Amino acid sequence: MNARKFSWRNDRRGISGAVTAVMLLLIITSVLSIVMLVFVPAWGESDETQHMRVTLEQFYSLRENIDAQVLRESPVAASSKITLGNAPSALLGFSKSTGRIVSNPFNGSLTVHNMTDPTDLFALSRGNITYSSQNSYLDQQSYVYEQGAILVAGPSEAAMRAPPHFGVSRGEGGNLSVSMLFVSVSGDFSSFTGTENAIIETRLVARDGTVYEGGEWTLGRNLRINITTPYPTAWARYFNSTLTAPLTNLTWQTEYNITAGTGFVWLDLLRVVKLDLGVAVMDVRIK
């Protein structure tokens, strides 16, 4: 009877092939882990940073278009593009982020009235346009167009990036001259969410301007600008820095007061002898 010979050499070849396969699998897994943990977040953050920069620039363009329509009193509609997000990249489908644009004619308001008599009303403006990011890697941000200004809001605070049309000068005896032009958003509430481009169509439907001076204004009127907004701190900071700037240099409590609370800010201007006040109403549609 012939005994069957066992070859350790063949067996070692099988073990060597298995070890090689396991090592190759570990290397591939390690490389993928590094890509997922290091490179993909870096790519995603870079894409989202670039997108947020582009969208903010588009908000500036939106403001410029509206300003041009108001100043020219043009009834012709203008279109502004807002890029909502990033489409998935070709590499493994990563870096997708969406955004939401909302035109809300009912959110926020501004009134200018006699400081001691709210029924003595000079102007009313309301509404805003808001873009909200839905980022995967960056902190969420909102870009807001309200009352002719642009604000950028993060998770903890908001800052004014483009001011409204507002100015104050001091004359003889400390009397103030005030000029302001605010933009009211009208139309239907509308919103759009996605990654593609949204088109914001704006059209001037009314513009009212009045200059108050002389008569009872000669002695000076105390006025209150009352803004209801989700960002009262940003508005209060803007008013305070504007009124204390070297060219204006007003004195707190003697010539103005600012009160900021939850969802509102009051700016009181004392001894105003001239008020150049304008309000423009813009019909806004998102397509």
**What value does the mean pLDDT take over residues 97-119?**
94
Q: What is the number of domains present in the chain? A: 1
pLDDT, the chain, mean: 87
Does some domain include residue 111?
yes
Please, which residues have CB within 8 angstroms of residue 81's CB and are 6 or more apart in sequence? 58, 61, 197, 198, 199, 200
Predicted confidence at residue 8, as pLDDT, reads: 47
Question: Domain of 111?
Answer: 8-286
Q: Which residue type is seen at 108?
A: G
pLDDT(257) > 90: yes
Greater confidence, 143 or 33? 143
Q: Where is average pLDDT lowest: 34-43, 109-118, 134-143, 156-165?
A: 34-43
Does some domain include residue 2?
no
Give the integer Cα–Cα distance in Å for 68 and 281: 13
Does some domain include residue 148?
yes
Contact between residue 193 and residue 84 where contact means Cβ atoms under 8 Å apart:
yes
Does some domain include residue 113?
yes
Predicted confidence at residue 177, as pLDDT, reads: 97
What confidence category does residue 22 fall into, taking pLDDT thresholds of 50, 70 and 90? Answer: low
Does some domain include residue 23?
yes
> Shortest CA distance to 287 belongs to which of 209, 219, 179, 187?
187
Query: Which range has highest mean pLDDT (32-41, 79-88, 231-240)?
Result: 231-240
Does some domain include residue 166?
yes
pTM (two decimals): 0.83
Does some domain include residue 257?
yes
Residue 71 to residues 62, 80, 88, 136, 284: CA-CA distances in angstroms? 14, 17, 41, 40, 17
Q: What percent of the chain has pLDDT over 90?
A: 69
Does some domain include residue 1?
no
Give the pLDDT confidence of 196-233 residue by residue, as tens digits.
Answer: 999 999 999 999 999 999 999 999 999 999 999 999 99
